[in-house]
């Protein structure tokens, strides 16, 4: 509360500006507008700026096609030191070594799959950010769908039980009581 009051009190007109003739108050808003435009332009430019690359210029291949393939492969490989980054994103020294190896494999004429396999044979499928579909990863890949299906079945069963069957007709006894109540009410 106190902070809000302070904010309100702060932008009191500067008395020294008031004495500067009539043009000053006009110029001020225009300066303010220019500042706003500049700030917006700067933020837009910031949006355009590319994020810093972990891939060093010295690592890159001169062949742009091979380099593009290397980048794609690197994005699929986990950095074994930092683990939640791909080697393409990581600044770790070991990630650098692995990027160099991927490029070396491509230069040797290996396919994308073979280049990945080179590291998988050393570090296991763990290095693949997209694990393969195998019996031991079925739970990982299919678990979410199984959970969704189970939830769907639950919701379906619940909705069906709430709707219930056809309304049960009143027994003679109940009908008689209802008639009596209506009779009572109308008087």
Q: Are 123 and 94 in contact (CB under 8 A)?
A: no
- Among residue numbers 57 through 86, which ones bind another protein (CB under 8 A)? 80-81, 83
Q: What is the C-alpha to C-alpha distance for residues 33 and 41, in angstroms, rounded to an integer? A: 12
Measured in whole angstroms, how far is the alpha carbon of residue 91 from the centre of its chain? 22
- Among residue numbers 148 through 167, which ones bind another protein (CB under 8 A)? 157, 161
Q: Which among 124, 131, 139, 129 is positioned nearest to 83, based on CA atoms?
A: 129
> How many chain residues are in contact with another protein, going by CB under 8 A?
15
Cβ 53 to another protein shortest distance, Å = 21
Backbone angles phi, psi at 110, to 5 degrees: -75, 155
Q: What is the C-alpha to C-alpha distance for residues 72 and 62, in angstroms, rounded to an integer? A: 16
Helix (H) / strand (E) element for 96: namely: helix 93-107
Q: How many CA atoms lie within 13 A of 17 on its CB side?
A: 9
Nearest residue (CB) to another protein, 32 versus 126: 126
Is 93 among the residues that bind another protein (CB under 8 A)? Answer: yes
Cβ 161 to another protein shortest distance, Å = 8
- Among residue numbers 111 through 150, which ones bind another protein (CB under 8 A)? 121-124, 126
Is 186 among the residues that bind another protein (CB under 8 A)? Answer: no
Choosing from 60, 76, 85, 101, the residue that interacts with another protein (CB under 8 A) is 101
Residues at the site binding another protein, with contacts judged by CB under 8 A: 80-81, 83, 93-94, 97-98, 101, 121-124, 126, 157, 161
């Amino acid at each position: 509360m106190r902070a809000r009051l302070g904010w309100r009190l702060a932008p009191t007109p500067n008395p020294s500006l008031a004495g500067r003739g009539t043009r000053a108050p006009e110029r001020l808003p225009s300066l303010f507008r220019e500042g706003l435009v500049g700030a917006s332009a700067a933020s837009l430019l910031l949006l355009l700026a590319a994020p810093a690359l972990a891939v060093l210029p010295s690592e890159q291949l001169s062949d742009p096609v091979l380099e593009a393939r290397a980048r794609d492969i690197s994005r699929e490989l986990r950095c074994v030191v930092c683990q939640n980054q791909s080697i393409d994103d990581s600044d770790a020294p070991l990630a650098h070594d692995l990027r160099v190896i991927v490029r070396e494999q491509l230069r040797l004429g290996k396919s994308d799959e073979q280049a990945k396999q080179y590291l998988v044979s050393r570090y296991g499928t763990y290095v693949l950010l997209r694990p393969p579909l195998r019996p031991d990863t079925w739970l990982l890949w299919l678990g979410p769908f199984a959970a969704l299906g189970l939830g769907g079945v639950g919701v379906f069963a619940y909705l069906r039980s709430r709707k219930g069957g056809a309304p049960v007709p009143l027994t003679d006894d109940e009908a008689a009581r209802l008639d009596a109540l209506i009779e009572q009410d109308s008087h």
